[in-house]
Structure 1
């Protein structure tokens, strides 16, 4: 027995986390996401078995996810940058407002119940999936990004939703960029770049937000970040991220859209079921 869980069952859980880590890295590089959309559901089941209270379980998944995808996001970004696909001006314009949004999300994490995180997760990924699967190239808001407060607002939106979903912001960033006529390959690469400051700020913010709840959290946790989850999943996902990034440059735009859309619908269904 370890932490009240039979060793055999715990071994299967660790194996599941390792497999998820491999998938996470490939998804991060392939779609420009940090992999949080798969990490959060897996960790939710792990923490459920370990007896983490419902009132802090989803928050712990979100914070741990952000910490896990940090090295993955960095590795993915470096690979895409080497390909010359990153829209540097977009990363610069969104970084500060995105970090502010992450800070707001961390404050919400301190006060909000876990159901809020599940609802945000489900709604956002469903909207993005529908746009990817059924959207057309003619769906445009404009041919180029707005300036000033309009552009900053998008960065803030990406940041706050990232902090509440445990993702690096790639899924939301991709959708916004394609609605302004940016090629998906460039959007994926740019999302990876923006994900670096988001995951750094998000990890720190969720650590601070969860500090008052330490009595409810499992051993080896710093606020809403589980060091055990990070230690197991982060190295594996980081190693495999570059392979996903290389694969992304070999697939067509439509293949990326369909694959990403189906993946997001599966994730959305999982959390929709947990709300019932």
Structure 2
């Protein structure tokens, strides 16, 4: 194995372990952690600014398929998944994810980096100031509102390489769903986003230069295997740690971490990486 692959593998193991720990600790999909971590790892290994954010997003989407399938099947055994929501929202989420994958291909790397930074700032505000008892409606919207919101969740999540858990859980709790049912059902959103999103990133990045030697399009094969395996084994440790710390403190610590990540990414976008 070449020195380049050894260095990439070592960095990916560390990234996956950290992403799995944070995902278990804070109860969110690992994409929020994996994308910026993999982005900075690729930069440290000398990869150009152009394709590296696209590769971080595409690889994260592929990992999310595996982790979301595991999560939704576990929640289904406890009868916590609202399959009616998945049935009626999935087509719109898939459509949005396909559009998001196409849009990501035409956005320059710096633009995609800046977009992730802005959304990370918004998410940090939700984690810092959000309250679980906020509610705007008694049930999930239907008709045109469902189509628009579903496509927006799928499109933004595909663009950013995240599973839709943050968006989905926030929407469902605001519409009267319990946090437990919202988390369980949003895990299914991750599959609906990850499959078309990852396939799109493979297709649109197939002939792009400057990718890793194990890449399929914008999805790094070695990265997928290591990140998925690392997150799989470490997430339960984070979940156990979460029970030993106050929830409010956890959320605010994570919000501060997101702010630091967002500032770093916005600086990268501004100065050109």
Distance 1:244 1:88 in 2: 27
Aligned length: 270
**In the alignment, does 2:167 pair up with 1:152?**
no
- Give, in whole Å, the separation in 1 of the partners of 2:134 and 2:201: 36
Shift in Å at residue 221 of structure 1? 1.0
Contact 1:38 1:267 in 2 (8 A): no
Within the candidate set 224, 233, 237, 2:227 is matched to: 233
* Contact preservation (8 Å) 1:101, 1:157: yes
Contact 2:100–2:158 (CA under 8 A) maintained in structure 1:
yes
Cα deviation 1:74-102 (Å, max 9, x = unaligned): 11222222232222222222211111111
1:86 aligns with 2:86: no
The Cα of 1:143 is off from its aligned counterpart by 2.1
Unmatched segments (≥5 aa) in structure 1: none
Instruction: Determine whether 1:51 maps to 2:53.
Output: no
* Aligned counterparts of 2:58 and 2:115: Cα–Cα separation in 1: 15
1:247-262 residue pairs with structure 2 within 5 A?
257-258=251-252, 261-262=255-256
**C-alpha deviation, 1:243, in angstroms:** 5.5
Query: SS of 1:211's equivalent?
Result: coil
Counterpart-to-counterpart distance in 2, 1:240 and 1:92: 31
- In structure 2, stretches of 5+ residues that fail to align are none
- Supply the distance in 1 between the matched residues of 2:230 and 2:5 (Cα, whole angstroms): 25
Q: Deviations over 1:88-144 (max 9, x none)?
A: 222222211111111111111221101222232122232232123213456433222
Q: Corresponding residue for 1:275?
A: 269
Distance in 2 (alpha carbons) for counterparts of 1:251 and 1:155: 34
Q: Tell me by how many angstroms 1:51 deviates.
A: 2.6
The 1:150/1:120 distance shift into structure 2, 3 A limit, reads: same
CA contact (8 A) 1:168 1:199 kept: yes
Q: Distance in 2 between matches of 1:66 and 1:90?
A: 22
TM-score using structure 2 length: 0.85
Check if 1:166 corresponds to 2:189: no
Q: TM-score, normalised by structure 1?
A: 0.84
Cα distance change, pair 263–188 in 1 and its aligned pair in 2 (3 A)? farther
Change (3 A) 1:249 1:77: farther
* CA displacement at 1:181 relative to structure 2: 2.8
Does the 8 A contact of 1:125 with 1:264 survive in 2? yes
Query: 1:1-276 counterparts in 2 under 5 A?
Result: 2=2, 5=4, 10=7, 14-29=9-24, 31=26, 33-137=28-132, 139-213=134-208, 215-241=209-235, 257-258=251-252, 261-276=255-270
